[in-house]
Structure 1
Amino acid sequence: MRSPASGRTHIVDAVFEVPAGGTAGIGTELRIPEPQLWSDADPHLYQLTTTLNWNGASAEYDEIVGIRTFAFDPDHGFSINGEERTLKGVCLHEDAGCFGVAVPPSVWLRRLLTLKEMGANAVRMAHNPHDRALYALCDALGLFVIDEAFDEWENPKNKWWQGHNVYPPRHEGYATHFPAWHERDLRDQIAAHRNHPSIIAWSIGNEVDYPNDPYASVLFEQMTGNNDADKPAQERMYDPTRPDVRRLTTIARRLSAIVREADPTRPVTLAAAFPELSSRTGLLDDLDLIGYNYKERLYPDDHRRFPDQPLIGSENGHGYAQWRAVAENDFVAGQFLWTGIDYLGEARGWPVHGSDAGMLTLAGFTKSEWHLRRSWWTQAPTAHLAVRAQPAGLDRKSFWTHPVSRNWDGAEEPIEVLCFAGGGAPHLTCDGSPVPLSFDEEGGFWSATVPASTAMFVLEVRDGDVVVARDELAHAGRPVVFAADVWHPPADAARRCRDAGIAIDSVIQIECRLLDAQGRLAAGELPVTVVTDGARVSIENGDLADITPYTSTMRRTFDGRLAVFVRAEDAGTVQVCAEGLPPVTVQL
């Protein structure tokens, strides 16, 4: 075993005999003095080389591994190498817009680094095994991983193909294959992934316990489950013709036993959609780590009900209350936002063809929510301004249904300016005059109501008398400059990827922006055409309603931005042209 960072090598030898046509197992013990431990703060990795020698022949196998200890404690949450951590996680689907699910490692790297800058330190692989490169990147970057196997067990869940809770549903998922393949697939997943130091838990299922979808219980009549809104009345009543929900407990015990036999070193968890019922039917009893989806209100009572089982938010909304439920309760190990990045599918309706639940767009650009989350999840200086129409009677529980933007052109009523600030005290001026701010306890930000005639906002975050972060917001002008910059990973991240054997140079990423005369992100969108000398390109703007074919070399900007991806092996010259502006030539 060799440490790429220090160059230290540790060797162990073993001799064993295998009969002709037979098999044999061997166990060895390698002791490493003063090992360098893997963690989110310092993701140190080792290269493990296994050399087999027999009858003058040999074969060699390399694998990247890490050394660490971790624990989930019922009262103190999660710890790594004895140090307590709060898991600040995001759920991820496996696609990346124009790439579908064939996502190059460099594209994942850019996305993951942006999520880490937000404060994220964990990923939940939703809801199936992902590409091997994504796990390797989590190892290299220091991101904890919950690896999840199934979204369905032996009965299918409803698929809302005409809109949320619009009947009739369709059924298309893993349930068809579960009876014959669940054990083989689960064991294969664990065998393939168990040497990744980033993985801290195996999840055996996601939301298999939806009420009446398809499992039913007489107890269902005593409580209301999630996903009930707009369902027909008969779908919210006990139906004895449906499969009995207690069957889930039997399956869960079987899956947990398979996991513990395949890997006894990590806890078994499950993402429960309806713990109000599942905690009473035995579904959660055999878990090492209880995962709740969107049920933060149950944390205190259920911690008292299950004092010996650690608890985590396996899937959570973006609200401040959901975060405070973690930050104010040491026994909650953390939360996983739905989701980290926008993804294809689960759309509201054509032409929208994806979910906008992410902190990043499909193009990998940050949203305003990213800055707000950063102000909660990090101590880093953060300053970001956003505006919206004054929300009369705003329901804070549905805060993000009242969209914010960086543009208030044409607003007639008073507007609310939102200040996402961290790392110091916020100070806001409007057209040069100080404006008092109030902290919104439900939204988790500072705000003020100002006239729509305001032309310029400036937010300064100060540590004492020192300005540590600053943002300004003014009416954007028309596009006059088109900027196109090649994205490069930070040197430390690139080194860690190289040490982990991850190829991150297969795709060149060009971040494009429309700028106004003041160098700010411009107002208005323009079609952009990419011209190459034969290089293969893809374009993504992050607009989930844009149905331009991904094979096209033209796409409109979205919020003044888009990303161009070029295969590195085709590297040459790329010309990016925004309509009416001087073209930009990028030498790759």
Structure 2
Amino acid sequence: MADTSSSLDRRRLLQATAVGGTALAVLGATSAIARDEAGDAGGRRVRDLSFDDGWRFLLGDPAQAEQPQFDDTSWRKLSLPHDWSIEDRPGAPKTTDPWVPPVALWNPGGHPKDAKPVSPELPIVMASVPPATADGPPHKVGPFDTDATAFGWGTGWTVGGIGWYRKQFTVSNLAPGEQVEIRFDGAFMITEAWLNGVKLGRNVNGYLGFVFDLTPHVRKDGPNVLAVRVSNVGETARWYSGSGIYRHVWFNRTGSVRIPYSGVAITSPVAGADNARVLVGTEIENRSAQPAKVECQVALRDSGGRVVGTGSVWVTLAAGQVGRADVEIVVANPALWSPEAPNLHHADITLSVDGKVSDQLRERFGIRTIAVSPKTGFRVNGKTYQLQGACLHHDHGILGAVAIDRAERRKIELMKANGFNAIRCSHNPQSPYFLDVCDELGMIVIDEAFDVWEKPKLLKDAYNVYFKDHWRTDLTAMVRRDRNHASVAFWSIGNEIAEAISPRGVEIATQMRAAIRAVDTSRFITQALTASFAGQKGEAARAQLDVTSYNYSFNAVEKDHQTYPELTFLTTETHTADAYDIWEHMQRNPAYMGEFVWTGMEYIGEVGSGSSRLRSDTAAPNEEKKIIFGMDVSMLNFYVWDYPAYQAGSGEIDLIGLKKPPSVYRDVVWGRNSLALFVQRPVPAGFHEEQTAWGWPDVLESWTWPDAGERAMAVHVYARGDEVALVLNGAEVGRKALTAADKRKAIFPVPYKPGTLVAVAYENGKEIARQTLETVGAPTTVRLRAERAAIAGSAADLAYVFAEVLDAKGRMVPDAAVPLRFAVTGKGALRAAGSGNPYGIESFQDGDTRSFHGTALAIVQPTGRRGDAKVSVSSPGLKGDALNIRIG
């Protein structure tokens, strides 16, 4: 069983508790952070105390806001994590009726005032709602603002800016030599901090944590004021990044002899069923003015808390010196970590000086070995795993970028439930808790450092501006932070880096490899290369990698494997449309170790990259040459940059966590399901449907098409076996033999008649599966369905409640788009509401939304430790519903 003692249960739900009984108490606007009264004079270890509560926030950039005497009483009170870019823009309407262009109108320029009539291209109507007028959608709706956005389609029309956060706190019983620090898990993008008016420092990487030492400036005899300025101005991201302190903040107190942040490295070079050899390396800082003889004691515990090994070593440090204590411990009959059995251990590390405890730390890890080989593929503890992976951005849809623990855990649970066993952090480090959960659920992780090096990608203000001065520090910080996560198997040094094969790029990669190896030698280094870098052209770049990774081109893997049989390969981005071909390649070539589809879950920004659209049958081919990231993408039909769409469209799971057709197809390809049945939305006369390379036909699990007449419907069947048949109202209307060339797909033209449509799959004449769609009635009822009936009484937990539109017989109405109003009372508050509609621009903060494909979502956050939160939903003319969520 996975140990969760250092994640959701211990660090967040019991976030006021620390070793020795020390607590952080919120006293009005001031937090009091005290040591245990029984602690020793050197300062008992007080680590990872939540510093999320009691902040004040202002969107703006007032002068002198860093000064402690600045009056912030009018500022908004809030708790972290926080993302202002998902909040409603000042004065923005909160529409719940997504604007859909009529057939005679298409807006190719992404701005309402530029709408043009009778274009040969038209975005597909994705919801059954009446179109708005030809004037187009409003410029500003909820968090979306086409006039104020810096990078438009890239960030989904959202807005950055500058925000300030301030917090008052006191520190009691501060002993001589005691050290005090603050740790941010992440803030986007440029972050500066001051304590009592003294500048602490600056951080420029929006995806990595950072630490500021408060010791020289903290007041012992009165309140302290921490002021933080976060700037997200200009073209800083090419997808939705969010803005503000969007991850957790932590407070630490230690003695003068201490373990620095991410100062512990744990490896298990030998790990077998009989015994394991665990190496625990601990950095030790002597911040005192005197030499110190330090005892470092290590106790290893299993997931049940039982001690399975101990060791200790003495280290003598001069004043101001940093040293290292290496302890080797043999563990008998260890519970090994693997994807199907993610057993975790933790190391309790204690530093003592003159018999007194100066610092304590608990670090979690997994005992396991990993290996790669062109003959046996990727292995954990000697067992081969084909990596069925997903790329994930860091946002959480209608919640924005806020790294609330339940949202992080739910995303990985959804990936696991939908058959994925690996995740690529695209294209920057995720939160520490995200990796905690990957450890607990048995995911294999590619931990990726950078999307750009020195050359930019479309943007003027992104990380490439800071790369030369910061890459070494940031890459080292990522590896140090994440090196004890059992889930992390690969370090990726970049994604589609334009200069990767140039002499300068190879020089950078060589330096990066050395920087990683100085910190960690137990994982594999890779880089997501473009397919154009395959073959001899990319030899110098690949020489710096342990594993060769290409984005999209599985054929490049095949060719390079023949030329370079000693290499191992991943495809770090793939199209779902290629799932069958990739599966087939992997079955015959163990050197091809896995794929990572783009993307596992839908995200905001890069609008329309995975869209479908209508094109006139008489339109001339688009001959405009498009060059993106140095690649000719003209034939890929690349992006549909149309407002009011705001999502990428390429996720296999939609923005609110529901399975999309590409994910269903993948289940059939990989053998997780045998049969699926979909129907393509009718295409208007004179048009045909096109998809981008990341797109998918606009198909639904529906046989309810009241406007279809008797026209022939395109019925899509995904099936295993060797034959599939369709039966409509008891009569067979189609049968098809399946061969490898069909790639587990069959399409039948079936004249529409209301009733029941059944697909049957056969293998050697024997039925192996059947699926049924039936015509349903008009909406009559809205039903609520909670993912979990009970949640913890902490702001770190969330309840996800779906509203589903039903007909009179209680059947889902598969394409219903009805207005909904959510309300929450009791011990909870509505955190967000919305749907998966890619054109659903609206406020996500109020309770009003509209169903998409018959479904919408409300997210509820606890406001009390114990009690019930009542969630209700209503819709004009329909019967509503209510349910209780137990909290505490």
TM range (shorter): 0.7 to 0.9
Asked if 1:374 is matched to 2:631, the reply is no
Instruction: Confirm whether residue 458 of structure 1 aligns to residue 753 of structure 2.
Output: no
Deviations 1:292-331 (A, max 9, x none): 0111121222112222221111111112324433333222
Residue type of the alignment partner of 1:334? G
Residue number in structure 2 paired with 1:315: 573
Alignment correspondent of 1:517? 808
Q: What secondary structure does 2:541 align onto?
A: coil
Determine if the alignment matches structure 1 residue 288 to structure 2 residue 511.
no
1:192-271 alignment, distance < 5 Å: 192-209=481-498, 245-271=502-528
Aligned pair 1:133/2:433, yes or no?
yes
2:877 counterpart of 1:580 = yes
Match in the other structure for 2:781: 481
- Does 2:390 correspond to 1:90? yes
| Letter paired with 1:577 | S
Answer yes or no: is the 8 Å Cα contact 1:416–1:449 preserved in 2. yes
**Structure 1 residues 178, 249: closer, same or farther in 2, change over 3 A?**
same
After TM superposition, the structure 1 stretch with the greater mean CA deviation from structure 2, 273-282 or 99-108, is 273-282
Deviates more, 1:282-291 or 1:475-484: 475-484
Task: State the AA in 2 paired with 1:574.
Answer: V
CA distance in 1, matches of 2:795, 2:385: 29
Q: Cα 1:482–1:473, aligned 2, differ >3 Å: closer, same or farther?
A: same
**SS class of match (2:469):** helix
2:838 is aligned, of 541, 544, 552, to: 544
Where does residue 354 of structure 1 map in the other structure? 647
Unaligned runs of 5+ in 1: 159-169, 210-214, 217-243
Structure 1 residue aligned with 2:557, among 276, 285, 299?
Answer: 299
Q: Corresponding residue for 2:444?
A: 144
1:274 and 1:81 mapped to 2: Cα distance?
31
Q: Distance in 2 between matches of 1:65 and 1:381?
A: 34
More deviation, 503-512/304-313: 503-512
CA distance in 2: counterparts of 1:299 and 1:183, whole angstroms: 30
Output aligned runs, 1:384-403, within 5 Å: 384-388=676-680, 400-403=695-698
Give the AA of the match of 1:156. P
Deviation at 1:548, TM superposition (A): 0.7
The Cα shift of 1:481 comes to 2.1
* Contact preservation (8 Å) 1:483, 1:513: yes
In the alignment, residue 575 of structure 1 is paired with which amino acid?
S
**Partner residue, 1:415:** 713
Residues 578, 422 of structure 1: alpha-carbon distance in 2 compared, 3 angstrom cutoff: farther
CA contact (8 A) 2:776 2:807 kept: yes
Residues 304 and 277 (structure 1), Cα distance of their counterparts in 2 relative to 1, 3 Å cut: closer
1:462 Cα offset (Å): 7.2
**1:28-67, aligned counterparts within 5 Å?**
28-58=327-357, 59-67=359-367
> In terms of mean alpha carbon deviation, does 432-441 or 281-290 score higher?
432-441
SS in structure 2 at match of 1:30:
strand
1:405 to 700, 710, 730: 700
Report the alpha carbon displacement of residue 343 of structure 1 after superposing the two structures with TM.
0.4
Work out whether residues 123 and 336 of structure 1, in 8 Å CA contact, stay in contact via their aligned partners in 2: yes
User: Alpha-carbon deviations, 1:33-78, whole Å to 9, x = none?
Assistant: 1211111111111122112222343232112210111111123321
Would the alpha carbon gap of residues 3 and 87 (structure 1) be closer, same or farther in structure 2, given more than 3 Å must change?
A: same
Contact 1:97 1:540 in 2 (8 A): no
- Cα distance change on mapping 1:443 and 1:552 into 2, 3 Å: farther
Matched residue type, 1:44: N
CA separation of 1:532 and 1:301: change in aligned 2, threshold 3 A: closer
Q: For 1:160-209, what per-residue CA distance to the aligned partner results, in whole angstroms no more than 9, with x for missing partners?
A: xxxxxxxxxx4332101100100000000001000001011100000013
Whether the 8 Å CA contact 1:380–1:422 is kept in 2: the answer is no
What is the distance in 2 between the residues matched to 1:429 and 1:13?
Answer: 72
After alignment, is 30-39 or 140-149 more displaced?
30-39
Q: Which residue number in structure 2 is paired with residue 176 of structure 1?
A: 465
Do the aligned residues in 2 keep the contact of 1:311 with 1:332 (CA within 8 Å)? yes
**Structure 2 regions of 5+ residues with no counterpart?**
1-299, 608-640
Partner of 1:327: 587
How far off is 1:112 after superposition?
A: 2.3
Q: Which has the higher helix share?
A: 1
Aligned match of 1:529: 821
Q: 2:727 is matched with which residue?
A: 429
Q: Which residue of 2 aligns with 1:562?
A: 856
Which amino acid letter does the alignment assign opposite residue 578 of structure 1?
A: S
Distance 2:857 2:589 in 1: 40
> Measured at CA, do residues 36 and 98 of structure 1 come closer, stay the same or move farther in structure 2, by a change above 3 Å?
same
Q: What is the CA–CA distance in structure 1 between the aligned matches of 2:351 and 2:676, rounded to whole Å?
A: 57
Quote the Cα distance in structure 2 between the aligned partners of 1:249 and 1:442: 42
| Residue aligning to 1:161 | none
Determine the C-alpha separation between the residues in 2 that align with 1:260 and 1:70: 16
Superposed CA offset, 1:252-305 (max 9, x none): 111111112211111110001143468515222221111001111212221122
The answer to whether the 8 Å contact 2:800/2:860 transfers is yes
| 86-95 or 252-261, larger mean C-alpha shift | 252-261
CA 1:476–1:115: 2 relative to 1, 3 Å: farther
Residue in 1 aligned with 2:529?
Answer: 272
- Which has the higher mean CA deviation after the structures are superposed, 105-114 or 290-299? 105-114
Aligned letter for 2:482?
H
Amino acid aligned to 2:553? K
**SS of residue in 1 equivalent to 2:839:** coil
> What fraction of aligned residue pairs are identical, expressed as a percent?
27
Instruction: Name whichever of 99-108 and 262-271 sits farther off.
Output: 99-108
Find the aligned partners of 1:447 and 1:287 in 2 and give their Cα distance.
43
Q: Which has the higher strand share?
A: 2
Q: 1:504 to 1:383 in 2, by over 3 A?
A: farther
Distance 1:374 1:86 in 2: 15
Q: Which has the larger radius of gyration?
A: 2
- Distance in 1 (alpha carbons) for counterparts of 2:692 and 2:582: 10
Residues 403 and 443 from structure 1, CA distance in 2 versus in 1: closer, same or farther, beyond 3 angstroms?
A: farther
Tell me if structure 2 keeps the 8 A contact 1:71–1:80: yes
SS at match of 1:550: coil
Amino acid at match of 1:184: T
Judge conservation of contact 1:48–1:64 (CA < 8 Å) in 2: yes
Cα 1:395/1:136, change in 2 over 3 Å:
same
How well do the aligned residues superpose, as a CA RMSD in angstroms? 3.0
